[in-house]
Structure formats: structure tokens, C-alpha cells
Amino acid sequence: MEAWLIMRKPITKKLTLIISALLIVSGGIGLVKTFINSEHKSDTSDTTNRTQNGTKERALIVASSTEILDTSSDKRPLIKKLDELPSAVSKSAITIKIAESHYQPYVQLGGSFFSRAGKTSGMATTDLLIPIWQNNLTDLVFADLRLNDRSDVPFEGNMHLGYRHLSPESQQMFGVYVAFDRKKTKTKNYFNQLTFGGEYWHKNWFFGGNIYRPIGNTTRKIDESNEEVISGGSISTIKKMTNEKALPGVDGEVGYEFKEGLVGYVGGYYFGASDVNTVCGPRARLAYDLSLDNGKRILGIFDKVGLEVGVQKDKVRGTVVYLSANVRIGWLPQKQTVLQGVSRHMVDPVRRDIDIVTGTEQRQDVQRRQQPPAAPAPAPVPAPDSDSSDDTVSSAG
């Protein structure tokens, strides 16, 4: 964990301590969740699951103080009064106020540890998700604001604007989004980028991809040198330049949720431009999000605790392995929407590459000019004659 100790900002150091503590207690939290789920299993089975031809289908259930929304996979959504439902269902239904039956804003704090070619580094992430407009929990317009601060100079911000639609009867969710990205690199250069992406969930399956397009000045100077070479009758001036270049590219992933909260992803990425080595290769990661099904917060604070481990490989950067942890805290302590099944992904942070990919470009310009002819040697000056050095005649008188 040496990389965590070199975080340059005090707030990053404090965040690292919090994440480390969460990693230690995560095992105990899992036991708490098992106990709570087993206590309510018999009461909630009628409302959260439907059996059709011997196959269990998860249901989305959102309740208010007077109504419950039952959207199972085998029927259209139904609105029923709680007093019209069987007593077992009404007792086990999640009862929250109508004002709380909405997707809620949250802040997600995280830290990542990277290992590449024997070198390690750290990164702190702050992710803010803000619902802008929503309709009946099936349509959501949202903003996702993200800051990534590495343990050395690099720093990046992403501003996403997206739309997601949920079809609870078929357990499907799709979304589209666009983002503006700005990055400060190790060489203290700044780059801008537009990102376009899409995502699709169907029951346990996920499909997603992104297109990255740098904008503005995509090439910045790192170093420059001049050298003169004389050959024959000409002089060559060689100008060598080392530039940093933002690379356009794409990536894509396919994921599968093995159990609630545990998702594996496999995919790949490609970034390239002229005069720069292409960055492309495979990527795989495994993520686990822990949350309580009974509407309560973990330790009374966190809506979710997440862990993720991943690996990727390409010729330019080699093999990169990372481990990250995060906690999610709702803005409104007294309000929380309990989401189940595919609906949980309506408020997921956008999945994408963590930063603007850059490469090094080597350029060389040669200018030649004729060597000027040598100046003629000056004519020799004759030496003075000693006999005629004095023309004065003396006479005696």
C-alpha cells in the first residue's frame, strides 16, 4: 500500500484511511447482511420473486405509504392498495413515503491501487450522481460528475449527461450518455475530449461501449532541440521535437451478474493516431457491490460498499493490475429508494475508461542550405625597404 502514502493532498490521505478500514470490516458486513436477509426471507418471498415454469424471476418492488408497485417479469405493472393485498405481503412490503419513491442523489468516494512493471501508484476518485428528471422510476435523466486525482501530477475531470430507461416487466434497462473530459498529464499538458457511450442490461447480462474523441489542440510539445550538420557544400539544421498527443479510440465490455452485486466483465480497447504507437488490448474485471435489502444503510452511513479488481494488457503500457474500493453516501440521510433486480443499475456510475489516453510522438524536421563560399585570402603586405626608409638629406654648411 505504499502508493496510498504518497497522495499529495490531505483529503486524499484521509480518504485512503477510510477505504482501508472498510476493506477490513467488509467481511463482518457480509455476515450482517446474511443475518438480515435470512430473517426476512420468508416474509419477502411473495413480493420479490415470481415462479413461472419452475424458474425464479426477480421482481422490482417499490412501495409508498399507501401503494405498492409490483412489476414482475410475467405480467404488466399493477398498482394495488396495501390493504387489498394479503396480510403476509402487506407486512413484508417496503413502506416508504411517496416523496422518497424516487432515485436519490449520492456521492461515491473511492481509491484505486495500480501496479505496472514493478511500479505502483494510487488514485482517489469522487463521483457525484444527480438525478435531473425522472418519471415513475422508469425514466431518468441524470448528471454524473467525476474527479480522478492520481498520486503524482495527473488529474482529470468528467462531466456526464445521460438518460436511462427501465422496462421492469421484461427486466431490461438501456442508457445513453455524453461527457466532456479534461485532463492534466504528467508533463503538465492539458487535453479536452468528448465521450459518447451506451449501455444495456437484460436480466443478468450487460453490454456497453464508448467512443472517445479528443477536441481542441490534441498535440502538445514536451521537448525540442536543434542540431546543425555540415556535409559537403551544405548545412543541415535538424529540429527534433517530442510531442504528447491525445488519442481517439473505442472500448467495449460484456458483463454477467453471477449473483446480486457480483458482476464479471470482459472486453477490450483501441486507441490510435498517426505517428504514435497504438494502444490496444484485452481487459477483464470483477466487481462486487454490497448493499442491504431491507432499506437500511451499512453501519448506518453507506448506501453501498464496493470492491473491484481488474487487469489489462497492451504493448505500450504492459500489464496493469489494479484494486479499487468505494463507498456510496446518499445526499439525503432520511431518504433512500430500495431498488432490486435490474433497477439497481439505474443509478450506477457510468462505466468507461478512467482517463484520456495519450501517446508520445517523435518528429524531426530537416532544413538544408548551401554553405556560403569561403572568402578570398587577403593579399600579402610587402615588407618595408631599410635603404629607403629615410629620404631626408643632411648637409653641412
Q: What is the DSSP string of 201-242?
A: EETTEEEEEEEEEEES--EEEEEEEEEEEEETTEEEEEEEEE
pLDDT at 77 over 70: no
Q: How is residue 79 annotated by DSSP?
A: E
- Burial track 202-220 (b if 16+ CB lie within 10 A, e otherwise): eebebebbbebebeeebbb
Separation in Å, CA 227 to CA 67, 237, 245: 80, 6, 24
The pLDDT tens digits for 139-152 are 999 999 999 998 77
Residue type for position 46: D
The pLDDT tens digits for 1-21 are 334 333 344 444 444 444 444
Confidence of residue 154 (pLDDT cuts 50, 70, 90): confident
Average pLDDT, the chain: 76
Q: How is residue 83 annotated by DSSP?
A: G
- The whole-angstrom separation of Cα 42 and Cα 55 is 18
The counts of H helices and E strands in the chain are 2, 20
- The whole-angstrom separation of Cα 218 and Cα 244 is 8
The pLDDT tens digits for 341-387 are 899 999 999 999 988 999 998 877 777 777 666 666 666 766 665 55
Give me the pLDDT at residue 196, please. 98
Return the domain boundaries, the chain. 2-99, 102-362
> What is the average per-residue pLDDT within 258-277?
95
39-43, 124-128, 286-290, 358-362: least confidently modelled range: 39-43
- The whole-angstrom separation of Cα 104 and Cα 294 is 17
Which CATH homologous superfamily contains domain 102-362?
Inverse autotransporter, beta-domain (2.40.160.160)
Give me the pLDDT at residue 14, please. 44
How many residues belong to the chain?
397
CA atoms within 13 A on the CB side of 43: 14
- 3-state SS of 182-211? EEECCCCCEEEEEEEEEEEEECCEEEEEEE
The pLDDT tens digits for 179-236 are 999 999 999 999 999 999 999 999 999 999 999 999 999 999 888 777 777 776 677 7
pTM of the predicted model over 0.75 = no
pLDDT at 50 over 90: no
Give me the pLDDT at residue 179, please. 98
Give me the pLDDT at residue 383, please. 63
Give me the pLDDT at residue 101, please. 58
Which triple of cell numbers denotes residue 143? 448528471
> What is the average per-residue pLDDT within 330-336?
76
Higher-pLDDT residue of 85, 369: 369
- The whole-angstrom separation of Cα 83 and Cα 207 is 40
